[in-house]
Amino acid sequence: MKAENIAPVLRGLTFNGETGAVVCFDAAESEGADVLSLTADAALELEKIASNIKRVSVKGLGSFVIGEAGRVAVVTGGAQGFGAGLVRQLVKNGYFVFIADMNLKGAESFASELNAENKKDVASAVEVNVADEASVEKMIDQIVLKTGGLDLFVNNAGVLKAGSVKEQNLADFEFVTKVNYTGYFLCVKYVSRVMAAQNTAAIKGAKGEYYADIIQINSKSGLEGSKKNGAYAGGKFGGIGLTQSFALELVTDNIKVNSICPGNFFEGPLWSDPDRGLFVQYLNTGKVPGAKTVEDVKAFYEAKVPMGRGCQPEDIAKALFYLVDQKYETGQALPVTGGQVMLK
Ligand SMILES: NC(=O)c1ccc[n+]([C@@H]2O[C@H](COP(=O)([O-])OP(=O)(O)OC[C@H]3O[C@@H](n4cnc5c(N)ncnc54)[C@H](O)[C@@H]3O)[C@@H](O)[C@H]2O)c1
């Protein structure tokens, strides 16, 4: 029996309908008046944990510290761009957030910045390559040992390599598909197991209706084709198929699954990076007729949005908090595009 299997059950048992305790694993067994000592099998069979219990010690394994109640979120690709903006909004709203990214250094320095600003631990970095199954499994194990489970998983990590269907090489097509589409499957595969174990335990003693949430950051290109950008749009369209299918299956585990389809985040690195951003690329390749500067390219794209501006992380955060609060919706794809793409 692994600690990773027990931790979500213990967290689930602490739920009061809205929130559960943060449960942190410690490799040392412990004893005392506020410690419940038992075998691994008995831990999995527990029906409740009395409120005076501060640690659950499991023979041959270690102990689980029952901490304060608190909501836990994970944001993949949280080191920069939309992901970083969402991390900030989640922290502002009281979540403890795991910043899960391939760029571990970036995630670590962002977590330190947030912890310093808030004068307490509000974020933690965890390394992951969402396109690699072993790496995803390791990320989820690390999270579970630190907090016992989670309330919200934001599948945000994504990449874009544009290219004509006549010219794009297979390696580029597969790279984009593996991160944006397969990566979503891999993350949900491991995160849903933890949420299901946590929620099954939570339902046993629930005093209200509790749901965990998986939210995929999709794109307006998941709702409408994107010229010379088929790998990206195809994977994003497919992502909505996964969202709908996962939602149908996971509803019985009290997990809601939804997508958010943002418009373009012009101020983020994807568009505005001075060397590799899309504005510079489009300027250099003459994609926007008559454009002489990066500002001309930006103005061209802003004019395509009925509301006259790009999408900001705060716009997506509002959609995200709506989807979490809304207990009567799952399997949806919510556009946040300033009117640029409308549902049919
Ligand atoms: N920027 C936009 O205009 C825009 C518009 C609509 C939707 N989106 C979507 O929003 C999400 C975030 O986009 P962004 O523009 O903020 O991206 P970004 O390029 O600014 O940041 C992406 C982050 O993901 C990380 N990452 C990349 N591949 C990874 C992998 N395999 N495993 C783990 N981490 C990985 C990167 O290190 C980086 O920190 C993506 O899913 C994207 O498709 C972006």
Q: What is the predicted pLDDT for the residue at 207?
A: 53
Q: Is the CB of 77 under 6 A from ligand 1?
A: yes
Q: What is the predicted pLDDT for the residue at 205?
A: 61
For the ranges 107-116, 227-236, 274-283, 310-319, which has the lowest average pLDDT? 274-283
Catalytic residue among 181, 210, 211, 232: 232
The amino acid at residue 256 is K
Where do the domains of the chain lie, and which CATH numbers do they carry? 3-69 (no CATH), 72-262+315-336 (3.40.50.720), 264-310 (no CATH)
Q: What is the predicted pLDDT for the residue at 151?
A: 97
The amino acid at residue 62 is G
Reply yes or no on whether the pLDDT at 10 is more than 90: yes
Q: What is the predicted pLDDT for the residue at 286?
A: 87
**Average of per-residue pLDDT across 282-305:** 93
pLDDT tens column, 213-265:
999 999 999 999 999 999 999 999 999 999 999 999 999 999 999 999 999 99
Model confidence at 287, in pLDDT bands (50, 70, 90)?
A: confident
What is the rounded CA–CA span in Å between residue 186 and residue 188? 6
Q: What is the predicted pLDDT for the residue at 1?
A: 85
Reply yes or no on whether the pLDDT at 175 is more than 90: yes
Q: What is the predicted pLDDT for the residue at 206?
A: 59
**Average of per-residue pLDDT across 6-14:** 96
pLDDT tens column, 184-194:
999 999 999 99
Residue 299: enclosing H or E segment and its boundaries? Answer: helix 294-302
Per the structure block, which two tokens stand in for 205? 């003693």
What is the rounded CA–CA span in Å between residue 168 and residue 158? 18
pLDDT tens column, 33-91:
999 999 999 999 999 899 999 999 999 999 999 999 999 999 999 999 999 999 999 99
Reply yes or no on whether the pLDDT at 209 is more than 90: no
Model confidence at 144, in pLDDT bands (50, 70, 90)?
A: very high
Reply yes or no on whether the pLDDT at 208 is more than 70: no
**Average of per-residue pLDDT across 103-112:** 98
Q: Is the CB of 102 under 6 A from ligand 1?
A: yes
Ligand 1 centroid–CA 156 distance in Å is 6
Q: Which residues, including other chains, have CB under 8 Å from residue 45's CB and lie 6 or more apart?
A: none
Q: Is the CB of 131 under 6 A from ligand 1?
A: yes
Ligand 1 centroid–CA 196 distance in Å is 27
Residue 212: enclosing H or E segment and its boundaries? Answer: strand 212-217
**Which of 88, 153, 191, 265 should be mutated for ligand 1, with most atoms under 8 A from CB?**
265
Ligand 1 centroid–CA 185 distance in Å is 16
| Nearest residue (CA) to ligand 1, atom 8 | 219
Ligand 1 centroid–CA 70 distance in Å is 27
Whose structure tokens read 């209706």?
209
Q: Is the CB of 264 under 6 A from ligand 1?
A: yes
Q: Which residues, including other chains, have CB under 8 Å from residue 253's CB and lie 6 or more apart?
A: 192, 195, 196, 199, 200
Classify 264 as helix, strand or coil: coil
**Which of 156, 178, 226 should be mutated for ligand 1, with most atoms under 8 A from CB?**
156
Ligand 1 centroid–CA 330 distance in Å is 23
- Nearest atom in ligand 1 to the alpha carbon of residue 264 is 3
**Which of 75, 98, 128, 159 should be mutated for ligand 1, with most atoms under 8 A from CB?**
159
- Nearest atom in ligand 1 to the alpha carbon of residue 236 is 43
**Average of per-residue pLDDT across 297-326:** 97
**Average of per-residue pLDDT across 331-343:** 97
Beta bridge partners of residue 257, listed in sequence order: 214
Instruction: Say whether 190 is catalytic.
Output: no
CB-based contact 149:195 (threshold 8 Å): yes
Q: Is the CB of 305 under 6 A from ligand 1?
A: no
Q: What is the pTM of this model?
A: 0.97
Reply yes or no on whether the pLDDT at 25 is more than 70: yes
CB-based contact 173:229 (threshold 8 Å): no
Classify 227 as helix, strand or coil: coil
